[in-house]
Amino acid sequence: MSGNTLGKLFCVTSFGESHGPAIGCVVDGCPPGLTLSESDIQPELDRRKPGTSRHVTQRREEDVVEILSGVFDGRTTGTPIALLIRNVDARSKDYSKIKDMFRPGHADYTYWQKYGIRDYRGGGRQSARETAVRVAAAAIAKKWLRERYGVMVRGWMAQLGPIEIPFKTWDAVAVNPFFAPNAEIVPELEAFMDKLRKSGDSCGARITTLAQSVPVGWGEPVYDKLDAELAYNMMSINAVKGVEIGAGFRSVAQKGTEHSDEMTPQGFLSNNAGGVLGGISTGQDIVVHVAVKPTSSIRLARSTIDTAGRPTIVETHGRHDPCVGIRATPICEAMMALTLMDHALRHRAQNADVACETPRVPAQAPAEVIDKLRGAAAVENPDPDEA
């Protein structure tokens, strides 16, 4: 397996390089009859495209998508959907000085060792440019999930470098270049990025992605658990170095009484599991946190070796994102949607006729129920340190 295809039933195979003539993908397994046109896909690409603010790469790509197959009279036919995005602003000369060097923290070295050849222009296949086609394919998945199940996938930036971003409102996410859910903190983020960009350095970010109204039952234990595949697919995004589901690593410090999400007929009392238990969706919000490392292409001098193994110094000039996490929110949403789409079809194929007699637990109990039960629990189980 060459590793260029995602999914079991809803399959996405991507192709192309950063400075090639085009990038694209083939989506196989989309159910027939879904109304679809370029106008359904383009808004998602516009959220991710470069050159939209001074805080991201100034490469100017409009990322105009073309549907080449799989759609007739405005509806999907059930046959492979080919999507194409032409590259129009590649500037390969920026990379001529480093074509024989390996950038520290970049995939230059590993691609060279694995294949014995690499496309040094803009990173070639390992460039985050490839993620544009994931976003395009996911626009189809988002539309089908929303229309078929009411599933909503959306995300936000939760941290930029050392600056944590408290969630305030969804309305703020779409009106600033950081996808920050808090308009009040945007000036601080801009000042931080302006200083960082002038220094020639880079930083990382943390992205939170949420899927709402996911039905209970999606996921295929034991090796294709929903949370396992979410982590796997999120880790395939360029520069992602960590994934948490729900409480994630905070679970280590929690007690069982804190972490286990209690249930009542009125709903769950918490969601530390992030909407997945035993690899199967619970019907609660699915919550995924992703850590994005600092951009490896920076202007500052770094020690490295060349293709002959000799020590040298590399400085990377040209057009680069000082923080790739700034444009990562639509990409994380895409991987969430593609994973859910695949599991929705897999669940429907095997378990569509299952009728469980136990009523389904609502995603969240009313606030008054939660307050009442937690108050009662505090009386029944007092803190031993305060008893």
Q: Please give the Cα distance from 352 to 157 (Å, whole number).
A: 36
pLDDT at 377: 65
pLDDT at 354: 96
- Give yes or no for a contact between 208 and 155, defined as CB atoms under 8 angstroms apart: yes
pLDDT at 380: 61
For each of the domains in the chain, give its residue range(s) and CATH number, in order of start: 5-355 (3.60.150.10)
pLDDT at 49: 82
> Which ranges in 119-276 belong to alpha helices (H)?
131-149, 186-199, 226-235, 256-259
* Strand partners of residue 157: 207
pLDDT at 58: 73
pLDDT at 382: 55
Our CA dihedral for 64, 69, 71, 72, rounded to 10 degrees, sits at 120
Distance from the first to the final alpha carbon of the chain: 60
Q: What is the DSSP string of 354-368?
A: ---SSPPPPSS--HH
pLDDT at 378: 60
Enter the tokens of residue 275.
């909407």
Enter the tokens of residue 339.
């994973």
| Prediction pTM value | 0.94
pLDDT at 385: 52
Please tell me whether the peptide bond between 222 and the residue prior to it is cis, using omega within 30 degrees of 0: yes
Q: What is the pLDDT of residues 325-368, one digit of tens each?
A: 999 999 999 999 999 999 999 999 999 999 999 999 999 999 99
Angle of helix 226-235 relative to helix 329-351, nearest 10 degrees? 150
**Which residues of the chain fall below pLDDT 70?**
1, 377-387
pLDDT at 373: 85
pLDDT at 13: 98
pLDDT at 387: 44
- Give yes or no for a contact between 132 and 45, defined as CB atoms under 8 angstroms apart: yes
CA 221 to chain centre: 22
pLDDT at 97: 85
SS3 content of the chain, % helix, strand, coil (to 5): 35, 20, 45
Q: What is the pLDDT of residues 10-50, one digit of tens each?
A: 999 999 998 889 999 999 999 999 999 999 999 999 999 87
Tokens 């960590």 identify what position? 242
Q: Please give the Cα distance from 333 to 208 (Å, whole number).
A: 9
Q: Please give the Cα distance from 212 to 42 (Å, whole number).
A: 23
